[in-house]
Amino acid sequence: GIQVEQSPPDLILQEGANSTLRCNFSDSVNNLQWFHQNPWGQLINLFYIPSGTKQNGRLSATTVATERYSLLYISSSQTTDSGVYFCAVEQSGTYKYIFGTGTRLKVLA
Amino acid sequence: DTEVTQTPKHLVMGMTNKKSLKCEQHMGHRAMYWYKQKAKKPPELMFVYSYEKLSINESVPSRFSPECPNSSLLNLHLHALQPEDSALYLCASSQEGPRQTQYFGPGTRLLVL
């Protein structure tokens, strides 16, 4: 099956710093979403981004489907950005979403 | 309204108990999903319902029994669980078909003793 790897696995930032999270996938996909999982377990939609670039405030994402990767940029990080960031891909020809391995982010005040 | 609700928030059960998890959405979505998430791991797909019919079962043990009584409601019936089934159970919904955004509920934290 499709493999979805995220890097880095863990990241510690000082408040105000910028970061880039990466998601690599091993096969063609229909869809890709980025999620933030808060400390209480809630998965919050950040982006629906099967291709191209989107921005939402301090966050932006780029997916290059032909090269099988997606990037999530966080600028001017805040302590509330802490948590785990997952990408999830929908494998072509299925309705199955496969989650990546996750990046655990901690932002220090 | 992009809300998916789940009850209960927390559940502790013994290995001989029968319990049910409930998930509800009122976004008119016709696809609903159950995921299981162990600590420090990504969510793993268990079941997919499309138009109230089970379309995907990811080889889940029969002690987990899903049910979709109507287009807004999804249940997960639990019976004779094992301690290793302790996890966060997440429900999600989306429009039916490929290339749809999934919306997740807050989850039920299950502890099996």
Half-sphere exposure of A51 (CA within 13 A, CB side): 7
Say if residue B10 is exposed, middle or buried (CB neighbours under 10 Å; 0-12, 13-18, 19+): exposed
Question: A56 in contact with B at a CB cutoff of 8 Å?
Answer: no
The whole-number pLDDT of residue B21 equals 98
Percentage of chain A exceeding pLDDT 70: 100
Mean pLDDT, rounded, of chain A: 94
Tell me the backbone φ, ψ of residue B11, rounded to 5 degrees.
Answer: -150, 130
Whether A31 sits inside 8 A of B42 (CB atoms) is: no
Exposure pattern of A38-68 as b/e (b: 16+ CB <10 Å)?
Answer: eeebebeebbebbeeeeeeeebbbbbebeeb
**Looking at the partner chain, which of B90, B98, B106 has a beta carbon nearest the beta carbon of A90?**
B98
Asked if A31 has any chain B CB less than 8 Å from its own CB, the reply is: yes
Residue pairs spanning A and B at CB distance below 8 A: 56
Q: Are A89 and A69 in contact (CB under 8 A)?
A: no
Q: Is B106:B7 a contact under the CB 8 Å cutoff? A: no
Is residue A92's pLDDT more than 90?
no
Q: What is the pLDDT of residue B2?
A: 64
Please report, for residues B8, B35, B69, the alpha-carbon distance to residue B11 in angstroms, rounded to integers and kept in the order given: 7, 16, 22
Residues of chain B with confidence (pLDDT) below 70: 1-2
Chain B residues whose beta carbon lies within 8 Å of the beta carbon of residue A42: 104, 106-107
Measured in degrees and rounded to the nearest 5, phi and psi for residue A44 equal -110, 130
The string of pLDDT tens digits covering residues A39-81 is: 889 999 999 999 999 999 999 999 999 999 999 999 999 999 9
- A58–B contact, CB cutoff 8 A: no
Q: Which residue has the higher pLDDT, A91 or A24?
A: A24
Residue B1 has what pLDDT?
57
> Helix (H, G, I), strand (E, B), or coil: what is residue A101?
coil
> Exposed, middle or buried: residue B65 (CB in 10 Å: 0-12, 13-18, 19+)?
middle
- What amino acid is encoded at A3 in this protein? Q
CB contact under 8 A, A45 and B98: no
